[in-house]
Amino acid sequence: MYPPRSRLLTAVLVCLLSVVAVRADAQHTHHWYAYSAPEFYGPTVSAEYVRKATTAAPQYVGLYWGIYQDYDMCSLDGIAEDPECPAPFYGFATNDAKPVAWSDNGAGGTFGKLVGSTFTALGSGVSADEVDTYRLPTTPCAIQIQMQVDDFQPTTEDPNVSSYNDGAVWSDPVEFTVWEFTIDNPVGSWVPALNASRTFTAEIRPLTDHASNSMARVITFRITPCSQEEGYCLNANRNEGDDYDTEGNDLKFIPALNEDLDVTSTDAPAGRHYDQAATPGSETDATATVTCLDYGAYGEVSALAVLFDAEYTNAHVEGALANSSVQMPTDVLPAAQGQQPAGNHIADASSHDGSGAAGNEDDDDPEGDGTPGDRLSRYEEYRGLKVNASWTQLDPTRKDVFIRNVHGLDASALTTENLGAPVHYMQATEVDDYRAINFKYSTYHLGAQTAIRIINGEYNNNGDWGASHAIGRSVPNNEDFCKVYVDLINADAGPPSPRLDGGIGSSDTTIQVDDTYDYQNTTEHGVGGHFKIDSEVVAYTNKSATQFTGCSRGQGGTTAASHADEAKVTWFAYPNYQIRSTFAHEAGHLMELEHMPDFWETGGWHNIMNLSLLAGATVGNGDWHVFRDAGRGEDALEDEFCVVP
């Protein structure tokens, strides 16, 4: 704003100065009086309101000013010019004037000269009459700038004549306001969690401007953009129909926690996003509490106000003034993932952030057939799911197995240790009708991951102990069913355990028995098996009708020993060898299920203790995998389980 040009007058002090000037025809003595104070224009600045810079670099405003000459009068009475005053004066003399000092009345700024990007402060090689720039103070405030001007002798008409020496004069104050509107960043290392919250504070400074007007305005907080994942994790909703429900925005201004604000929804009246909260009246300070309603929530919080005729002005983020919103959670790394400009919607403070994109699934443990991934994206494993009534976050480096024990059968062998992968037991409400465990989703969803159903296959007239049926290649865990027929096994005769046909020593690798029966053969599945003699576990790679060959003695921490003729040989499914990996859960990646009971002598065949999941055996559409066990002995199996992935 440019103030009108004004002439600043000082009180005229009548002071006679005698300067002798020789005229051609006579000697003339000048009697000089102040005719006016030094005339000048300015200073002025380019705007009445200047916002603080968005960087730590100094901020400047230009100063505009002009100096005119000072006029003195040669007079005998101080009222009218002396008619005898000779040329070149003819009764009036002029003096040059220039700035001699600058002041911002204690605001804390600095005057100087700016050339290109180089600022030199007044007094550091820059004189007052060279000043053209004002470096703003770092604190918002109202500022009054003044320039002091003085005249200099001799007169411009005659360098040998000095006229009246006026006193230095100050300009009228040039007033403007350096202001800022900020929102703090309370997020820090916060990671989303159900009901977790953060309180944001917005401030307008200074409290009053240079004209003593209040800077208070209606301050409006907003959450936009914001995630809108279904539920609050991969498989659970909560409190549908109230303010804390998990539908709509995952970050909300809950009205009960923001009683001093008017909380509204931009989608009103259709929903309760609660994404806007405003002060009822004008304020210079306001606070708003944001509540998290999803373990994978992400969004941005901002504050706005109508300032200086602008439609809306965004608050700058304290400590990062170039930003106009606060990420919640902090998510700036890793950048350039190919899916978003920065970040991956995973909190930087989370161990899940790593260096991976939110949509990848590079889990490689266990190795299985070498296919990475478990059909759960990094973001989904970070977001987590409800497992046995408790929210659980998954490890993005490991393949996970999910089990739904429909009939409560003995599944004690299905453990993380035995399967080589994390095992999670799901309740009925934690899977959908299609067995999916990640059915509440929106972002970075690679497809349905399903739970293995353990069911009682009851009775089968075909005499089969178990069967599985694949229904497609494109979905992981896509067996239509895989059953063990418990009632049939209970009715069948138990298999006789082989007996040693002659004693063996502790180093024998070929073991003779009376009959190997239907023990697993290496040619069928590409691996051998295990059996147990007394307390020693023995691995074998092949078998014939009466021999186990390629035997490795003392497996599983047992000790190789000699065994007597007729010692019982028990089929043993050793979990840490054969149960090395489970379903890779990768799209199009199928695994073949094998049910290998551990035969115990005490009480007959009771409790199937081990499940062998052999990675890498591809199953075609419509193939059936039947495990027939016939010709059993008198012992009976008391309970059993089956697996439906």
Q: What is the reported pLDDT for 301?
A: 97
Q: Are 274 and 265 in contact (CB under 8 A)?
A: yes
pLDDT digits (tens, 9 = 90+) for 374-402: 778 889 999 999 999 999 999 988 878 78
pLDDT digits (tens, 9 = 90+) for 449-483: 877 776 666 555 565 555 554 444 333 344 444 45
Using alpha carbons, list the distances in angstroms from residue 375 to 364, 449, 480. Answer: 12, 6, 18
Query: How many Å apart are CA 109 and CA 107, to the nearest integer?
Result: 6
Query: How many Å apart are CA 457 and CA 640, to the nearest integer?
Result: 9
Please state the rounded mean pLDDT for residues 30-41: 84
Instruction: Express the helix, strand and coil content of the chain in percent, nearest 5 each.
Output: 5, 35, 60
What confidence tier does 433 reach under pLDDT thresholds 50, 70, 90? confident
Strands 423-425 and 401-405: parallel
Q: Is the pLDDT of residue 591 over 70?
A: no
Give kind and range of the element (H or E) at residue 487: helix 486-491
Q: What is the reported pLDDT for 608?
A: 25
What confidence tier does 22 reach under pLDDT thresholds 50, 70, 90? very low
Please state the rounded mean pLDDT for residues 269-287: 89
Mean pLDDT over the full length of the chain: 75
What confidence tier does 260 reach under pLDDT thresholds 50, 70, 90? very high
| Predicted TM-score of the model (pTM) | 0.69
Q: Are 497 and 518 in contact (CB under 8 A)?
A: no
Please state the rounded mean pLDDT for residues 112-137: 95
Q: What is the reported pLDDT for 268?
A: 59
DSSP for 216-242, written as a single string: -B--EEEEEEE---SSSBTTB---TTS
Q: What is the reported pLDDT for 543?
A: 85
Q: Are 304 and 315 in contact (CB under 8 A)?
A: yes
Overall residue count recorded for the chain in this entry: 645
pLDDT digits (tens, 9 = 90+) for 415-431: 676 556 788 889 999 99
Q: What is the reported pLDDT for 462?
A: 60
Q: What is the reported pLDDT for 572?
A: 59
Q: Is the pLDDT of residue 179 over 90?
A: yes
Percent residues over pLDDT 90 in the chain? 42
Please state the rounded mean pLDDT for residues 68-78: 88
pLDDT digits (tens, 9 = 90+) for 293-349: 999 999 999 999 999 877 889 999 998 888 999 999 998 865 544 444 457 889 989
